[in-house]
Chains A and B, each alone.
Chain A
């Protein structure tokens, strides 16, 4: 009987987290106006209730917030389930220009060895595209540019051009419209091979 009570208590807590996270994500999507429902302050108010319930309004160092965060991450319920919903976003693209001392330029994309990792790279580019904090975005792009430069260390400077590929609507595609590339940001970097003492 006691065992059942323990199971029930855990089930109640676990279910509460699953439902609250799912509601939070759904209300956020509606509150941002991404759906055909009319935007209203009530959606955002409701979302803030779920945010409070998950302890996300507590300070970052609060043990309760950290414990809840660890639990929902450990159980895989932190993300909500609205994949490709309510609509499918455009995809982002990063092109790396490698400039050599003799003046010639090579163009490269970040590469991975496996299709499954390719999906992960696309996820990373999406994350960069959704990052509005400029210094963070620059650091992430710099790391990707550095990984490309490592294979071509003779390049003296690297320009990373970040943009998105706009996919036409189905009706527009039927009318002959094709996908188009849109520039968002460009960053210039120069990398140097570490000295022997740094290796």
Chain B
């Protein structure tokens, strides 16, 4: 009896969901993502420069044998890119391991610079993704959260329609503006991915008692090599540790709700960026903080900036969100 009515409702919600996913968007967010990840890749390459050959050299030079880590990785994932593939290709071109590793480092660094200025954006994005993936996977035992988030960001950048409005490519080659629908779609996927990241991060933290009584904050800030603040100073700030632990849990858990509303987005975005700045300053995780700030600003920044400028979109536009 109710079937036609239900079908209309289903079609209505499907239509809303489709409009949500395929909203048309400007490439402003892509500019932030491209330039931000370009900066991240450049700093990442510079931070590894001094230990590059020790990290990825073979048995006689490296502190973690590359052939050993790649052999272990091959058992689990033989299709995942790795540095060994480049070195194998280099060998066929007559390059020894040291030279090939040096070239690899320069390629990674150059990809970062190209992304910052937006020249050969698409090729640079693909190269940055591939090279970083090789480095992160070959050094899998040395990789931490930052590598995951950088891979995520570079993957979305690589599949998004480039070049964006501010890329040099547009000025030099006079390329047409990208189709706003795929631009909006890619941004939407990044936004949803960030929501999942923070929700599950917050959930697992909230399930541990330590995040509610300051203990986890204390341990995070005193655990080597993140112990930048003297323990005695932290002991005097016990109430701050308790409150900060709770705020981190609640902020991450509620991020998927607060970030969507025009009213709460600026607060939520500022708070989450503040949290990452805090992580960078107090724990020395600068690259991790930078990549998280870039992802957040790219995903939700442009819309929030509109609010700050006092140009909140009229309420009826929230049904078909644009520029969030």
B residues contacting A by CB (< 8 A) are 18, 21-22, 44, 47-51, 54-55, 60, 62-65, 68, 75-81, 133, 137, 139, 141-145, 147-152, 155, 182, 185, 189, 192-193, 196-198, 200-201, 203-205, 207-211, 213-216, 218-220, 222-225, 231, 235, 238, 241, 284-287
Contacts and interface: CB of A to CB of B under 8 A. Distances in A.
Contacts of A14: 189
15 contacts: A7-B22, A7-B182, A11-B21, A29-B204, A69-B77, A74-B133, A81-B204, A82-B200, A85-B208, A87-B208, A122-B224, A123-B143, A127-B141, A173-B235, A174-B238
A75 B81 CA distance: 12
Given A36-B209, A144-B64, 19 more contacts: A22-B200, A60-B75, A70-B79, A73-B133, A74-B80, A74-B151, A75-B155, A76-B149, A82-B200, A82-B201, A84-B216, A85-B204, A87-B208, A88-B216, A115-B225, A143-B65, A170-B215, A173-B235, A179-B222
Contacts of B65: 143
B142 A75 contact: no
Contacts of B148: 76-79
Interface residues of A, number: 74
A116 B64 contact: no
A34 interface: yes
A140 interface: yes
Nearest to A30: B207
B204 A8 contact: no
A77 B152 contact: yes
A173 B150 CA distance: 36
Contacts of A114: 47-51
B58 to A, nearest CB: 11
Contacts of A171: 215
A78 to B, nearest CB: 8
A39 interface: no
A124 B62 CA distance: 14
Nearest to A74: B133
A91 B77 CA distance: 28
A181 to B, nearest CB: 11
Contacts of A70: 77, 79-80
Contacts of A29: 204, 207
Contacts of A119: 144, 225, 284-285
Contact of A26 (B141, B149, B203, B209): B203
Nearest to A11: B189
B62 A147 contact: yes
Interface in A17-59: 18-19, 22-23, 25-26, 29-30, 34-37
Contacts of B182: 3, 7
B197 A170 contact: no
A112 B284 contact: no
Contacts of B60: 194, 199
A35 B207 contact: yes
A66 to B, nearest CB: 5
